[in-house]
Amino acid sequence: MYYLFDGTYLGFLSCVFESFERKEAIIVPITPKDHQIDLFKDRRTIITDSGKALRVQKGLQERIGKADAMDFYRAFLSEDRKAWLASFFILRQIFSGRTDIRQDFGNDDVLYFSQILKKVSRERHRMKAFVRFSKSSDGLFFALVEPDFNVLPLISDFFRKRYADMPWLIYDVKRNYGLLFDTRQVGEVQLSPEEVQDATMPSIAIEMDERDELFQHLWKQYYTSTNIEARKNIKLHLQHVPRRYWKYLVEKK
């Protein structure tokens, strides 16, 4: 049975609740964004119910603790459909009394769940390390990113605490939404296609702060002057800073 939901985590947890209530143990969660959705004839539309979802979340926390319960949210943010299936299997096992299932790495679902958590965690750490802000003339610090996974919710607190005294916007171009901090609170924003296009060409659309341009120029000069040719280790460098992150770094532009 295919469960069609709205693509949110509360929607996913609503699917878990419905599967128990309807006694449907084998389900495949899908969203309207999935390709060829009309081919899934045997499907049920699940309406997101925050009450039911929170009951699942509370029950999960009572069984395995709040910290471990967060792992299912992190796995969900991978947007990996195989990870969603693995999560669903593990959740059913936990609610059926097998709270130790997460240590059974001989099980393919458990192993995949563990692997995807490591990948999401790695991407979260890299975003925290490689995000570079530019300052516009109106005082807003902005950064455009394209993470492999939907990790913006996982880095929000880090940037809010680290840059508590400045307004900033981190925008995920791939998923077309961003986090905007106004020095008081973080909110989710969505730009129009035209605004995203403008933001990707700051030299045309955004009047840069002159001091920011100077700092970027000085940083590039510093990076070049300290980059000793004889001591280059490209393989090691790529292990720590993969090429796909270079577009975020001033010194690589």
167 and 183 Cβ atoms separated by less than 8 Å: yes
Over residues 155-172, the mean pLDDT reads: 94
Residue 83 CB contacts under 8 Å (≥ 6 apart), including other chains? 75, 76, 112, 113, 116
What percent of the chain has a predicted confidence (pLDDT) above 70?
A: 75
Provide the 10 A C-beta neighbour count for residue 214.
Answer: 10
> Rounded to two decimals, what is the model's pTM?
0.79
DSSP symbol at 60: H
User: Whose CA is closest to 92, among 121, 49, 63?
Assistant: 63
188 and 177 Cβ atoms separated by less than 8 Å: yes
Whether 142 shows a pLDDT value over 70: the answer reads yes
199-210: pLDDT as tens digits: 655 443 344 444
- Strands 2-4, 28-30: pairing kind: parallel
